[in-house]
Structure 1
């Protein structure tokens, strides 16, 4: 009889620990969701792919991608990489306060390029997700050869 009471007690204690563990997981998930909602958010004004249109080989063009920090903590851009050495990004080095606006300037040098060009700029920041892509495209036409006669 004593063994049955002991097994019943062990079962109840085991179920209690299991319930506490589930509650801790749920609380952890709730905290993670709350923190995620407050994380810095980089929200760009312009959606989609920026089109530079038709360029002549050798032209350099630039575009400013305006954004706002729509999160509750300062936004810090750690780095920005470009898919090609022909693309140069410039970004704010100081934290962008919640609600503040700023921009990323992208310069594209079409020298040595020909045809349809599609480039990606990846922003690494303290946001969720940690990487955000910007894209642009251009159609690069060959430069007229100055040695040809018409």
Structure 2
């Protein structure tokens, strides 16, 4: 009986050590291309999957400036499931080159953080 209890405890500890959330983005860069101001609402979506075996929690999403507004999932993403982070750029004229930082409990990325990029150019209507 002692061997069984010892094996059960060892098994639970081993499972806990290897349980982790992992994040995999479909793409980490979205290229708006060249868009004409007034013809695009600036909304884009980054899709990701929890490739780990415990719930993935997005704790924070922030952008490099107020012209880019990200939104994060409010609920944990279960293993094998997908989620999304919407990013809305204000479509100011000129080049687009912004970074959105995603903070998570994922163990497969450095410090649980992923940097996403948006790029492109907004031009005036001719």
Root-mean-square deviation (Å): 2.1
Which consecutive aligned stretches of 4+ in structure 1 deviate over 2 angstroms post-superposition? 55-60
Total equivalences in the alignment: 108
SS at match of 1:60: coil
Unmatched 5+ stretches in structure 1: 1-30, 145-150
1:65-124 superposed Cα distances (whole Å, 9 cap, x missing partner)? 1111001110011110011111111121111111111111111112xx332220111001
Normalised by the length of structure 1, the TM-score is: 0.64
Question: Relative to total residues, which structure has the larger helix share, 1 or 2?
Answer: 1
Which structure would you say has the larger Rg?
Answer: 1
Question: Relative to total residues, which structure has the larger strand share, 1 or 2?
Answer: 2
Higher relative contact order (CA 8 A, sep 6+): 2
Unmatched 5+ stretches in structure 2: 1-12
Per the alignment, residue 65 of structure 2 pairs with 84
Separation of aligned partners in 1, 2:63 and 2:49: 21
The one of 18, 22, 30 equivalent to 1:50 is 30
